[in-house]
Amino acid sequence: MNTPGESTAKGDAAFYVGLDIGGTKFLVAGADGQGKILGRIQEATPPDVESGLNALNRMIAAVARGRRVTGIGAAIGGPLDWKRGIVSPLHQPQWREVPLKAIMEAEWGCPFFVDVDTNVAALGEYHFGGERAPRLLYLTLSTGMGGGFLVDGRIYRGKNGGHPEVAHQSVNFRCGHPERVACECGAPDCLEALVSGNGIRRIYGKPAECLAREEWLEVAYNLGQGLRNLAAVYLPDVIVLGGGVAVGGGGPLVARASTVMEERLRIVPPPAIRLSRLGYDTALMGAVAIAMRGLED
């Protein structure tokens, strides 16, 4: 079996595949040895595991176009065991204890790496998004909320290799409908319940793109309170925001949330707050990065 970065055979050019395995869509991209995308494909997420695996294999074959695959990287929702490559994504209820690494390595004969999508997205920002800060915190505001923290380009992991759940912090929030604030994890007052796509729908009865200005101001305030906590605890150099809600809120959301953070942050220096330069491709490009470089303890 090939190690990351090794040519597949004498005279062959390296070809890497990135998988973004989402709850609503699959994205697959093929890249050369410099990470340049040579082809990509998107399909709706099938409901069951067998159909999902068949779709991924079909999509990999489509972007490979007969090339031998050097390595595959994947981003998927947690929880998962990143070392053994066993996945149980929360938003794909039929995917439970799936030995994805073993399945894919047997199918394609190359190294396969998988991690929580927000960790992978953070690596995408670092390697392909121009964010080379020593301490980089990536946050996604999408259907749910999550984050990945890099220190000198390496993923920060918690006890027993666990993934820190930055979205499930409690914040002093503002909301015109406090009775509607309910996090899917079951804990009260979570940031995710206030600023994620699902949380916004629950509170305001509509998707984020339909929010009125006053409602966006509430979301920005609550996000700013969360950024304040994260800045105080992690002391990142930069916080990058991605995902549909963040991209939809755009510059005004980032500016207002940054102001709230800075007004309430003491003792520690405020980090820079930026929107992702990779847009909706952050996790996909991160998957290409781990296909090329592997994952480290």
Structure tokens at 143: 């259907």
- Quote the pLDDT of residue 181: 95
- Quote the pLDDT of residue 160: 84
- The half-sphere exposure of 262 on its side-chain side, counting CA atoms within 13 A, is 10
**128/96 Cα distance (integer angstroms):** 31
Residue 244 clears pLDDT 50, i.e. is over it: yes
In which band, very low, low, confident or very high, does the pLDDT at 212 lie, cut at 50, 70 and 90?
very high
- Quote the pLDDT of residue 24: 87
Lowest mean pLDDT among 7-16, 51-60, 133-142: 7-16
Full-model pTM:
0.91
In which band, very low, low, confident or very high, does the pLDDT at 115 lie, cut at 50, 70 and 90?
very high
- Quote the pLDDT of residue 286: 97
- Quote the pLDDT of residue 185: 86
Tallying the residues shown for the chain, one arrives at: 297
Residue 49 clears pLDDT 70, i.e. is over it: yes
Hey, which bits of 8-144 come out as E strands?
16-21, 25-31, 37-44, 71-76, 80-81, 86-87, 98-99, 112-116, 135-141
Residue 44 clears pLDDT 80, i.e. is over it: yes
Query: What percentage of the chain has pLDDT greater than the value 70?
Result: 96
Cα first-last separation, the chain = 20
Q: What is the mean pLDDT of the chain?
A: 93
